[in-house]
Amino acid sequence: MTSNTPASQRVAELRKLLTDASRAYHERDEQIIPDAEYDHLIRELEALEAAHPELDSPDSVTHAVGGKASSRFPEVVHAVPMLSLGNAFSDEEVRDFVRRIDERLRRPTLMFSAEPKLDGLAINLRYENGVFVQGATRGDGATGEDVSANLRQIKVIPLQLQGEGWPDVLEVRGEVYMPRADFERYNEQARLHGGKVLANPRNGAAGSLRQLDPKISAQRPLSFYAYGLGEVDGELPPTHSGTLAQLARWGFPVSDLCQVVEGADGLLAYYRDIGARRDGLAFDIDGVVYKLDDREGQQEMGFVARAPRWAIAHKFPAQEQTTTVEAIEIQIGRTGAATPVARLKPVHVAGVVVTNATLHNADQIARLDVRVGDTVIVRRAGDVIPEVVSVITDRRPEGTTPWQMPANCPVCGSEIVREEGEAVWRCSGELSCPAQRKEAIAHFASRKAMDIDGLGDKYIETLVDAGIVRGVADLYALQRDQLLVLKLALDAESPEALASQLSLHLAPEGSGGTLNQILRLDAADAGWRARALSVPARFEWNTKKIATKWADNLIAAIANSRSTTLSRLLFALGIEHVGESTAKALSVWFGDLALIRRMPWPLFKRVPDIGGEVARSIGHFMAQPGNQEAIDALLARGVQITDAHAPHAKLRAELNLANLLQDLEIPKVTPVRAKQLAEAFPSAEAIRDESAHNFVTAGLPAETANALVTWLDVDANAALFSAAGAALQQLLALTPEAQQQAAGPLEGQTVVLTGTLAQMNRDDAKAQLEALGAKVAGSVSKKTSFVVAGTEAGSKLDKANELGVAVWDEARLLAFLAENGKQA
């Protein structure tokens, strides 16, 4: 056969592809093709070399072990070569493995040590007289890298052997790996702080062990399991399982998943057992390893070119495959988080056809540089959502462009915004976005928001799925009949059971047809519960046969929630970063929903404890038309604010042009420069129309003047500047002078609540104390004015007595509230 035959061309092509992949994997800790594809290609090459012996070569990748040792570390020549294992992918191949050993050894029984095959980095640990002296990677099997300093940082690797009786020289082989939970935590922190995200735990372990600075290795969450031996100068047990037990006594971690089993049936049963438990393990495995347990039998079986005849790896179905990215779309979660999702050319991964994979967030896409058209490696582990772990840039087509996060939500059209200092992008249309509807309604109805008691998650789920509740305002249009059917539907186990229940409780008023025919309930329809809520009006409830109290109570709770405080409603709207305390602060300082709805975001920064991030979040929420429409719908359905008032008099001192200029966050405009501008120009409008020259004339440095003009040249900034200036004047007109607004009797005082109150709950007590001017804190200090102690008060009461802080009982609190126009 000549060198230009199809077989020789394919052999050359496979050797180059596999050699490049092996070098990347073993020498650079990079994976350019998945394990499954590598295994498939190596088998194809082995088959070609077997069919055409003249094409075989001693330097073929089929005879190689691992990769070349890195020149960054000193070389270590292994006293006993570190070989790799042959692979089995089917039951038949496992039975052939056992049959070959049986034919050679002719023993009555064959016992095997079965072990998990960890997906990490193989290493050799050398001990002399019980002391760790050197550790090396496998390298090419004959020569590895000296990574002793880094291995000393792994706490589970003993530096001095325990017990007694160890050989004078002992080389222990095993796997350095990164536990899954630690890997996820490491990547989470890396994404948060803009660091390098590890592709998978194996790469994380290998890369961590190959750091030139041992301090970096010490910071990585590495662990180790022992599974074999290298050079040994001394006696050891006659079986592999006995040797592992001895290693454990000397202080080495050994997997508790190792078992001794008999014959092929025992091996396959172990394989299936570990496969079923695989997804719940603390570490990644890609198969199991079978080793003849008898060490004498191992010696008799011997070795082939690069692997022992007495051991084999039985691989699990591939969890990684290559495919093509056909599109990148945005998926909006229940809380508004915008997650990029890769739409993929369908590919089988771990026994499932995968068409979508998560890309986590925009930062992850940028780090991987995933583009539409790219060939990528996709990973799926058990029930975990498939993810893109890397891009094969060598296969990237021409003309691709980097991906950008879209400006608007694909579901509702609202602006997508990024949280400051966070990797998360969110849709700002909280109330109007259908993707967030269920979460928004659940939050709206919660106890500390609108307090609609009885409206649980499963009811919300069905009401939304039925299309009856499309937004929070629709809660105020619910009818008792709908709720009664909802309860029956959720309690029913099947459409037939629901139809039977409805037949008991409903009586038809008019034309014929059975109830099941009218409702057309079908078990094949996943939405049969939701569709049941469309019960025709011609049916009447037989109230003697159904309990209506739950529905009546919920309708009453919804009706009661129509009258609410401004702080409760603001909290209920679900504005990002606006919790109870921020909602109360907005209510106290601005007092009016109509004012807050139209306030430019910089003015929110005048409220104590509200910074730029929270202010912008409120502004973004109110800038979305859908959110404004949702608020309008609530007001149209009768929701009323019971405690609206003029802005707080203390706000007046904060309302000046210098503060506004600072709050706008204009580059180079420091508090000093803001004060200069405010003194030189009478209003925001006057500043907007000036030139850089006039700003310099007014005393500003040229750098500040140019930065201000450049900022104002942006249309959005100029519009915000004008709106904020106009709002400043409006607020000044609405805010009373300080003497016009009397301070509460507890103004400036700090109160702490502890223990259980008998006649009112803690939330109500807190609200009433705050209404009288108090700040209600969570801990006692010297600055605490007094502590209200109910029954079973604990450490806070002890602290108050220790510091000499006044203590009120519930009776004194109730009397004080009554004196000041408050009721329990």
**Catalytic residue ranges:** 117
Say how far apart CA 573 and CA 461 lie, in whole Å: 19
427 is annotated as contributing to ligand binding: no
Task: From 244, 298, 314, 256, select the one nearest 89 (Cα to Cα).
Answer: 314
DSSP H or E stretch at residue 111: strand 111-118
- Which amino acid type is present at position 555? I
Longest dimension (CA), the chain: 108
Is residue 295 within 8 Å of residue 238, measured between CB atoms? Answer: yes
Say how far apart CA 372 and CA 823 lie, in whole Å: 64
85 is annotated as contributing to ligand binding: yes
Q: What is the DSSP letter of 310?
A: T
Intra-chain end-to-end CA distance of the chain, in Å: 99
Task: From 730, 548, 593, select the one nearest 651 (Cα to Cα).
Answer: 730
For residue 500, give every residue at least 6 positions away whose Cβ sits within 8 Å of its Cβ, in sequence order, or none.
none
Dihedrals phi, psi of 703, to nearest 5 degrees: -60, -45
Say how far apart CA 463 and CA 531 lie, in whole Å: 10
Q: Which two three-digit tokens encode residue 628?
A: 């404004």
Say how far apart CA 807 and CA 792 lie, in whole Å: 14
433 is annotated as contributing to ligand binding: yes
Say how far apart CA 596 and CA 607 lie, in whole Å: 12
How does 361-390 read in b/e, with b if 16+ C-beta sit within 10 Å?
bbbbbebbebbebbbbbbbbbeeeebbbbb
549 is annotated as contributing to ligand binding: no
For residue 494, give every residue at least 6 positions away whose Cβ sits within 8 Å of its Cβ, in sequence order, or none.
523
Dihedrals phi, psi of 730, to nearest 5 degrees: -65, -45
291 is annotated as contributing to ligand binding: yes
733 is annotated as contributing to ligand binding: no
38 is annotated as contributing to ligand binding: yes
Is residue 87 within 8 Å of residue 317, measured between CB atoms? Answer: no
Is residue 574 within 8 Å of residue 582, measured between CB atoms? Answer: no
115 is annotated as contributing to ligand binding: yes
Tallying the residues shown for the chain, one arrives at 824
Task: State the Cα angle at 775 between 771 and 779, rounded to 5°.
Answer: 140
148 is annotated as contributing to ligand binding: no
Q: Which two three-digit tokens encode residue 240?
A: 């592999």
Task: From 162, 123, 168, select the one nearest 251 (Cα to Cα).
Answer: 162
Give the position of tokens 């329809």. 525
84 is annotated as contributing to ligand binding: yes
138 is annotated as contributing to ligand binding: yes
35 is annotated as contributing to ligand binding: yes
Task: State the Cα angle at 666 between 665 and 668, rounded to 5°.
Answer: 115
How far lies 777's CA from each of 745, 751, 780, 787, in Å?
Answer: 17, 6, 8, 10
Say how far apart CA 180 and CA 202 lie, in whole Å: 10
Helix/strand/coil percentages in the chain, nearest 5: 45, 20, 40
- Which amino acid type is present at position 531? R
Say how far apart CA 519 and CA 533 lie, in whole Å: 9
Is residue 506 within 8 Å of residue 541, measured between CB atoms? Answer: yes
Bridge-based pairing state of the strands 750-754 and 775-777: parallel
- Which amino acid type is present at position 700? L
Give the position of tokens 């008023």. 509
Q: What's the distance, CA 639 to chain centroid?
A: 36
Query: Which residues sit in the known binding site?
Result: 35-39, 84-85, 115, 138, 175, 291, 315, 409, 412, 433
Residues contributing to the annotated binding site for Zn(2+)? 409, 412, 433
Which residues are annotated binding-site positions for NAD(+)? 35-39, 84-85, 115, 138, 175, 291, 315
